[in-house]
A and B are shown apart, each in its own frame.
Chain A
C-alpha cells in the first residue's frame, strides 16, 4: 500500500527514499512516468503505478530504459511533466537517446532519476552516473535526505521546464532504499493537456546549431541551481578542515563532526547541485580554507570539478591541500560509512576516537570470527532456477564437450555461485549472454568444438536479448538460448513485462509471448518444465547436438510469486530409515550438492531433514535422492 498520494499537506510521514522521489514528482504535477525496473530504483515507478489511476497518470514498465526515456520524451515534447527512473546500468542503455535528446530539448518537464548503487549491493557493476551530466550538458542534483529527495525532484521539474531540457537527479542506495521523515506538500489540482506543437521541431541535427543551444540552457540552469537551497555551509568562518560533501557523505560527515565535537574546527560544505557547480558559494569557502576533504561516493566527480574551479581562480585563492580519492584519503570505490568518516576526520584533526572496553572489543572480534558463518547468496527455496541450472549441469556433463554457458542479468545471475552450480561463465549486461553465445556459436567455423548456450530471463529477453537472438539466427550461429521463464521480473520485485497479461497500472494487456516471438522468427522452440529434471536435461542435451540457433523455454513460476497465490505443491519430509546420509552412494548428495535452503543436515542424527519453516514444497529434491528417502506428498 502506497502512501505517496496522501493528500495531507504538512503531515510528516515515514517514506522510503524512492517513495519520497515519487511524491516529489506528484507534487510537481507529473502526467507520465516510465521505467524498466532495476534496483535500487524500482520502487519509484512501482509506487507511482499504484496510485496512477487515482492521480490520473499514465505509468508504464517499459521494455527497456531507452524506450522508457523515449516514452517520457514524447510526453515532455508535448508539454507534460514526465519522470523516468533507472539504475546506473539503465542510464547506459538510455544514453544513446539521451545524448541526442539533450541537443533538441523539450517543451514540458523531464526529470531522469538515476539511482546509483555504490558497492554494487544489488548490481553487477559499480558506476558513477554523475559523469553523464557533464557528457550531456545537463544539470544534476544529488539529495542527501528523504525530504530533500522529494524537494529536489519538484525543483528539478521547475528547472527542466525553465530551460526546456532534461534535468537529472542522482540518488544512491542509501537514499533510495532507506526510509525517513518526509513532510508532505500540496498536490496540484490541475492537469496539463498533452499537445505536440507541430510548428516546432525537435531535431538534434545539425549539432553546430543544437549544441550551442544545449550550452546556453545549461548556463541558465547553473543560475537556478546556484540560487537553490540545496547547497549550504555550516561551520566556523575559518575552519582548519573544510569537508565538501554530497549525497550520503553529507549526513555521515555531519554526524561525525557532531560526535567528535568538532563543530568549531571543521566546516561542512554541502553540495546538492553537483553539475553545474554553485561556483560562487564554493569560491567563497575556498577563500578561507587550508585543507579540503571531499566526501562523495564512487568517483571523484565533485573533487575533480572543484579542483578545476580552483585552478581557474588560483590567483585569488590561498594554497590549499585537497584530500579525497586522488590522495587516497577516501577509497575510490564503494560506499562511505560513519565508521570510515570517523577515522578519516579524526585522523585529519588529530582527534581521539572514544574507545570501547578492550575485553568487549576482543569478545566482539571473537563473535565475528567464530560465531557468524558466512551467508552466501542462494536461490530461494523452491526456485525454478536451481532446477534449471541442475538440468543444464547434467546436460553438459552428459555431452562431455565442455559446453560454455553465457550468463545474463537477473536472479539467475547468481548461477555462477554454488547455488547455480557455477554453470554460467560470463556475466555482463542485459542481453549480453545471447550476444556472446551468438558470437561463440560462429567460432565453430574456426574450429571451436564446445557447444554454446546462454540463459536469459523472460524480462531480460524483451529488454535486450531479442536483437542478439535475431543476429544469431540470421548468421546461422550454433547456440541454444535457454529462456528461464518465471513469469516475472523477479529480481526487482515482480513487475510485469511485455509477456504479462497486465500492465503496470493493473489493466489487462495483450501478452507478447516468448514462444510466439520465437516462432515468428522461425526458430526451433521447445517448452519444458525445469522441475522435471531429467526431461529438461535430456532436452538440453538433444538440442545441443543439433546445429543452428535453438530456443528452449524452461517455464515454471517464481517461487515467491507462487507462494503468494497458491499453497505448497507438496509436503516434503525425509524418511530417516531410508536416508543413508554420509555413506558412499550418497555422501549427503541433497544438501552438499543440491544446496536448497529448505533442506538441512541434522548433524547429530547424520541424516537430512526438511525445515518446514523454509521449504517451499517444490518436491524437486525428492526426485534427486538416490535412496528415495525424501518423500513428497501432494499437499
Chain B
C-alpha cells in the first residue's frame, strides 16, 4: 500500500451488508500478509441506523479499531448521505470516494419530520469533499442480479477496478468460500465484475 496505514471506511445503512464487505476486504488482505484492524458498530445496525466499518491496513502494526478524524483514504459508501456523513468527519482533500447513488431514506424523512438533501446538491457536496469520486448505480445493478444486498460486492469490485484496493475476483472467491458459502461464489464473482466494469464506464468526478 502506498500509504501506511491505509484507512478505508465502508459505510451504509443497517442491513446493506457493509459489515460483510469490510470483513471480506480484511480477510483477503490479512491473507496477503497485511495487518488489518476493522472497527464496527453492531447491535442496532440491523435497525435502520447509520453503519460504519473502519478498515485500517498496515504493513507494520496492528492499528486501533477507529480511524482518527480526517484520516480516511478511501470511502466506500452504500448510501449517498452516509458518504457525506463519513466525509464530514473523516474526509480530507486526498480522500477518494466510491458511492452508490441510491438513497435509503431515514424513517424521519419518510415520516416528513426531516428532509433528505437534494440529490444533485448532495452529489456535488460529496465531490467537493473528495479528491476523486465514483458514483455508481450499485443497488439498481444488484436488483438486476436478483438481490439488492449484492450492492456491497459491486462497490468492492468497483474499488478494486479503480485500483483503490489490491484485491481480485479470485481473492473474493476464496474469501467467500471460506467465510460465507461455496454456493454463493458465482453470484458474488458476477457482482464483483459488474462493479469493476461499472467503474470503468463512469467518469470519475
Cα(A378)–Cα(B70), bound, Å: 29
A600 x B128 contact (CB < 8 A): no
User: B104 in the interface, Cβ–Cβ < 8 Å?
Assistant: yes
Q: Whole-angstrom distance between the alpha carbons of A181 and B108 in the complex?
A: 39
Task: Please tell me if the beta carbons of B117 and A599 are within 8 angstroms of each other in the complex.
Answer: no
Selected from A40, A337, A376, A591, the residue in CB contact (under 8 A) with B112 is A591
Q: Which among A366, A374, A595, A612 is the interface contact of B125 at CB below 8 angstroms?
A: A366
Total of A-B residue pairs, C-beta within 8 Å: 211
**CB-nearest residue of chain B relative to A491?**
B43
Chain A residues in 8 Å Cβ range of B112: 588, 591-592, 601
A234 at interface by CB-CB < 8 Å: no
A367 near B68 (CB under 8 angstroms)? no
Q: Which residues of B contact A371 (CB under 8 A)?
A: 81, 84-85, 88, 117, 121-122, 125
Once the chains are docked, how many angstroms separate the CA of A506 from the CA of B106?
Answer: 37
B117, A370: Cβ atoms under 8 Å?
yes
Complexed CA–CA distance, A122 and B105 (Å): 22
Q: Are B15 and A380 in contact (CB under 8 A)?
A: yes
Q: Are A122 and B148 in contact (CB under 8 A)?
A: no
Q: Decide yes or no whether A363 CB sits under 8 A from chain B.
A: yes
Interface string of B41-74 (1 = CB under 8 A from A): 1111011111000000000001111111110000
CB interface residues, B 129-178, toward A, < 8 Å: 129, 139, 143, 148, 178
Among A145, A366, A372, the residue within 8 A (CB) of B62 is A145
| Also in contact, A251 and B65, with CB within 8 A (given A1-B178, A3-B178, A371-B81) | yes
- Specify which of A121, A368, A375, A600 is in contact with B13 (CB 8 Å cutoff): A375
- Chain A residues within 8 Å of B125, by CB: 363, 366-367, 371
A374 to B129, CA, bound (A): 20
B115 CB, nearest partner CB in chain A, Å: 7
B89 CB → nearest A CB, Å: 7
Taking a contact as CB atoms under 8 Å apart, the answer to whether B48 and A342 are in contact is: no
CB of B48 within 8 A of CB of A360, answer no
Do residues B88 and A368 form an inter-chain contact, with CB atoms below 8 A? Answer: yes
Inter-chain contact A612/B108, CB cutoff 8 Å: no
A311 within 8 Å of B by Cβ?
Answer: no
Q: A374-B106, A601-B112 known; A122 and B42 CB under 8 Å? A: yes
- Tell me whether A600 and B105 are in contact (CB under 8 A): yes
Residues of B within 8 Å of A560, CB to CB, are 46
Tell me the complex Cα distance, A592–B110, Å: 7
B91 CB–A CB distance under 8 Å = yes
Tell which of B42, B48, B84, B87 touches A375, judged by Cβ atoms closer than 8 Å: B48
Of B35, B66, B84, which one neighbours A180 at CB under 8 angstroms? B35
| Contact assessment for B26 and A613 in the assembled complex, using a CB-CB cutoff below 8 Å | no
Known A248-B65, A372-B85: A363·B107 in contact at CB below 8 Å: no
Q: Mark A339-380, 1 if CB is under 8 A from B, else 0.
A: 100100000000000001100100111111011111111111
Instruction: List chain A residues, Cβ under 8 A from B22.
Output: 179
Closest chain B CB from A273 CB (angstroms): 20
B1 interface residue, CB < 8 Å from A?
no
Question: What A residues does B102 contact at CB under 8 A?
Answer: 613
B205 at the interface (CB under 8 A from A): no
A419, CB-defined interface residue at 8 Å: yes
CB distance from B47 to the nearest CB of A (A): 5
* Given A147-B62, A174-B39, A177-B40, A377:B68 Cβ within 8 A: no
Q: Is the beta-carbon distance between B148 and A613 smaller than 8 angstroms?
A: yes
Q: How far is the CA of A3 from the CA of B180 in the complex (A)?
A: 11
A178 adjacent to chain B (CB < 8 Å) = yes
Query: Chain A's interface: helix, strand, loop or mixed, by majority?
Result: mixed
A173 to B66, CA, bound (A): 12
Is residue A13 within 8 Å, beta carbon to beta carbon, of the partner chain?
yes
Q: Which of A14, A177, A339, A588 contacts B68 (CB 8 A)?
A: A339
A342 to B81, CA, bound (A): 27
B190: Cβ under 8 A from any A Cβ: no
Q: Quick one: which of B30, B48, B109 contacts A380, CB cutoff 8 A?
A: B48
Is A519 located at the chain interface by the 8 A CB criterion?
no
**A61-B115 Cα distance, complex, nearest whole Å:** 43
- Residues from chain A with a CB closer than 8 A to the CB of B87 are 364, 367
Given the complex of chains A and B, what is the CA–CA distance between A29 and B134 in angstroms?
49
Decide: A378 and B37 in contact? CB cutoff 8 A: no
Q: Are B48 and A418 in contact (CB under 8 A)?
A: no
Contact B48 A378 (CB under 8 A): yes
In the complex, what distance in Å separates the CA atom of A145 from the CA atom of B40? Answer: 14
Check A252 for interface membership: any CB of B closer than 8 A. yes
Pair A255/B39 contact, Cβ less than 8 Å: no
Contact with B along A116-150 (1 / 0, CB 8 A): 01000111000000000000000000000111000
A439 at the interface (CB under 8 A from B): no
| Bound: A592/B38 CA distance, A | 37
**Which residue of chain A is the closest to B45 with respect to CB atoms?**
A122
Interface string of A483-514 (1 = CB under 8 A from B): 00000000100000000000000000000000
Complexed CA–CA distance, A364 and B95 (Å) = 12
- A356 contacts across to B, CB distance below 8 A: 70, 92-93
Q: Do A122 and B143 form a contact, CB below 8 Å, given A599-B110, A614-B104? A: no
Select from chain A the residue with minimum beta-carbon distance to B149: A613
Q: Does A338 contact B (CB under 8 A)?
A: yes
Q: Is the CB of A372 within 8 A of B81?
A: yes
* The residue from B30, B48, B66 contacting A174, defined by CB atoms under 8 A apart: B66
A147 vs B87: C-alpha distance in the bound complex, in angstroms?
Answer: 31
CB pair B23–A14 under 8 Å, yes or no, is: yes
Q: Is the CB of B64 within 8 A of A251?
A: yes
Residue A235 is within 8 A (CB to CB) of chain B in the complex: no
Most buried by B among A357, A360, A365: A360
**Most chain A CB neighbours (cut-off 10 Å) among B115, B179, B180:** B179
A547 within 8 A of B: no
CA distance in complex: A463, B23 (Å):
32
A40 near B43 (CB under 8 angstroms)? yes
In the assembled complex, how far is the CB of residue A14 from the closest CB belonging to chain B, in whole angstroms? Answer: 4
Q: Does A466 contact B (CB under 8 A)?
A: no
Would B26 and A14 count as touching, CB distance under 8 A? yes
The answer to whether A591 and B65 touch across the interface, beta carbons within 8 angstroms, is: no
> Does A545 count as interface, using CB distance less than 8 angstroms?
no
Question: 30 A-B pairs, CB-CB below 8 angstroms?
Answer: A1-B181, A117-B43, A123-B43, A173-B42, A174-B39, A174-B65, A179-B37, A179-B40, A180-B26, A181-B35, A256-B68, A259-B68, A338-B64, A338-B69, A356-B70, A360-B91, A360-B129, A367-B125, A371-B84, A371-B117, A372-B81, A373-B108, A373-B117, A377-B49, A419-B48, A591-B111, A595-B111, A600-B110, A601-B105, A613-B102
* Other A-B pairs beyond A179-B40, A614-B148, 17, CB < 8 Å: A174-B66, A177-B41, A178-B65, A180-B35, A356-B92, A360-B129, A367-B125, A371-B81, A371-B84, A372-B85, A373-B108, A375-B50, A377-B47, A377-B49, A414-B47, A593-B111, A614-B104
The chain B residues found within 8 Å of chain A, CB to CB, are 13, 15, 22-23, 26-27, 30-31, 33, 35-44, 46-50, 62-70, 81-82, 84-85, 87-89, 91-93, 102, 104-112, 114-117, 121-122, 125, 128-129, 139, 143, 148, 178-181
The 9 A-B residue pairs with the shortest CB-CB distance, nearest first, are A122-B43, A251-B64, A368-B88, A338-B68, A367-B88, A378-B48, A178-B65, A179-B38, A613-B148
